[in-house]
Structure formats: C-alpha cells, structure tokens
Structure 1
Amino acid sequence: MNKQKRIEILTRFRDSNPNPDTELEYSSTFELLIAVILSAQATDKGVNKATSKLFPDANTPGAILALGVDGLKDYINSIGLYNSKAENIIKTCAILVRDYHGEVPEDREALESLPGVGRKTANVVLNTAFGWPTIAVDTHIFRVANRTKFAPGKNVRAVEDKLEKVIPKEFKTDAHHWFILHGRYTCIARKPRCGSCLIEDLCEYPHKTSDD
C-alpha cells in the first residue's frame, strides 16, 4: 500500500471519529492498568462487567492488596485466566505501593517489569493514560493491518514496527484506537463487513465481501 492511500485511510478514520478512546471503563490510570491486564484474552464488555463491581470497592493498589488473591478472584472470576491474573495483579499492586508510592509509572521499562504487563499492555497505558504515540497491536490491529495491506507483518511486533514507520506523527496517537474499533466492528475476523466499510475502496484485501 502506498503512502497516499495510508494517509487517506487515516484521514477518513479521523473524520469519522476525531476523539477515539478505549472501550474499557476506567476513571484513573491505575484503573486503566488493571482493566488492561484483565483484558488479555477477554472482551472489554466482560472486563467492564467485572470492574464495575471491583472498582467501587477497591480501586487503588493498597485497596486491592487488602483483598488478597482470593478476595480479588471473587470479583474477576467471570474473566478468562482469572487465577493467574489475580496473582499478577496482587504482585503488581505490591510493587506499585513499594516502589512508586502507589502511582502508575510513566515509563515503558518500569511498566513492562510489572507482573502481567507486557509490551502491548504498556503501550495501551502509555497511549491512553499518558498520551504517548504508541501503537499496541492486538488481534484486531494485527488482522486489519495485514488484511488491508496497510502494514503487513508476520507477528505483532513486526506489525507494530511497520505501523510506527508508516503512520505520520499527526495520526499516531489515535491510530491505535481507530484500528481496534475498525477490526472490532467492521473488519471482523470471519466475514469482514466490506459493504459498510468507509475505507473499502482503499483496502487491498483481495476477498472483499459483497454485502454488509
């Protein structure tokens, strides 16, 4: 895909959704971090359902630490992998209290050192909470980038690196959200809704569907 097409795609995304945001529900950087940890191999809807019960009772590292692993599990047991997620979250909260005065650090290396936090989670927090121009490549972004030929790559890091290279600075902060939403609601996995896609004429996917 050439540069002109990419810019037109990003322009259309921006025009249709000038202020995109995550669909995870949160009211602080810490709540966002916990929600993103929980969202691994889970839907945002499922995470929001669990955190709507958890956060009113415990939404600081100290408060979640006080729940303990078993207490936290009672809130998040509807989410996949909740056992390991609960253990990681408790360990992360302990580190935040011990090393960062209960605050989420605005630092990639520090974030990625937290249990349950990988590069993708760190990218989401840096982008959504701190406004960094990072691009967290999940399954939706990986699919859209490859299917449209916007930024093809064999793995998520290759796609991230390509997106970082080809997306102009003016679009970079919001690109993460645009691609996720496009993959979640239009360029879906089994049968993309090409007929209702605002970039159908620019997309280079060879097997477009005829209906929406």
Structure 2
Amino acid sequence: MSITLSSRRTFLQATVRGGAALPLLTSLGVATNAIASDLTETENSLCLFEADAAMGADMAAGVRQIGLAYQTVTLDDAAGWSAMLDTLESARGRSLAVLGRPATVFAVRGMLEPTWRVVLEGRHGRQVGSQMRHEFAGLDAPMKQLAGWLDRVRDPAQYAVVLASMTRGEFSADAERKTLDLNSHVWPGSDLVSLLAWPKGVV
C-alpha cells in the first residue's frame, strides 16, 4: 500500500492504565460513582491520535492532564511508518482507538488487518450554527454508550480517551451493526474521523 501524507503527522501512543479515566471524567464534572459504572477495564486499551495543530488543541498537554503515559511516533518518513507498525505489533490483544484527520485515519486503518476488526467508525464535522455533526456506523452497544458522552466531552483529547476506554469485554460480540447521527457543541479544530477496533477472535 502506498501512503502519502502532505504534512507532518504526529501520533501519540497512549496506553490507558487502570484508573486513567478518572481524571478525565472528574474534569467533565462527572461524579466518581458514575465513573466506575460507565468506564472500566481501561488498562487493556491503546489510543492513537493525531497531535497536529489542526486538531485545535495541544493534544500532548491534554493527554498529560488526563494522566496517561504516552510515546510520540512521527509519521513523516519511512522510519516513522516502521515505528507505527512496531507499535501495532506490540499492541496485539488490546482494544484500539484512533482519532485524526480523515486521510491519516484511513492510512492507519489499512494497517489494522488482519489483527483487528473495526467495530465502530465515527465522522465528526462542523455544521452551520455552532454545532458538530457526528455520524457513527458500527456495533450498536458501543455506539450507544459513546453517544451518551458526546455532550460531556469538550475537545478531541477527551473524546479520544473515552473511546479508548471502551474495551472489548464490555459489549456483546454479536451485537447488530447500525448507524447513528447526532449533534453536539462544536469541538476546537478541524473535521475528524475516529475508529474503535477490537482484536479479531473476540468479535
């Protein structure tokens, strides 16, 4: 597969440790007892997201505030893509969340076979009238749970961590695939695409 990226693409690999979702949800004003019931088993997730200025926020600072450990992988040369492949190789067996601009996420998606299956895809774009349009397609259960967080996350960094918190053990593997369109307040930055992938053999 030939991949061309027109600008510098920086990804942050964030391994979501146990309890890592707590600072995020506390910052959202969510009660501590609601955290445990809604987001659990986060230590087996991996989050890859684009830390570009076009995201409208300092993604590295956002991840640091949330409390995640992260490693930077730059994807502007062959060595960068090799590092990305090594990262995915070491992440076998984990749930995987990806967030970035459409071209970048498309390129990463091509690397997920045959280890992962994409169970949820989201397209997030600005609309007239200070709203954000979210178009989801995928398994019904994670889609519904994710939809419940849209009005509570303030920016792409928070959304990425919520997405990564949705590990495979929380949902039925045989859930029906559906579509869902929703609106929310506008996030900073440009239009984005997100993916949630689970290891094959589980779904």
Q: TM-score range by the shorter chain?
A: under 0.3
The structure in which a higher percent of residues are strand is 2
> With structure 2 as the length reference, what TM-score do the two structures score?
0.27
Which structure's CA Rg is the greater one? 1
Greater RCO (CA < 8 Å, at least 6 residues apart): 2
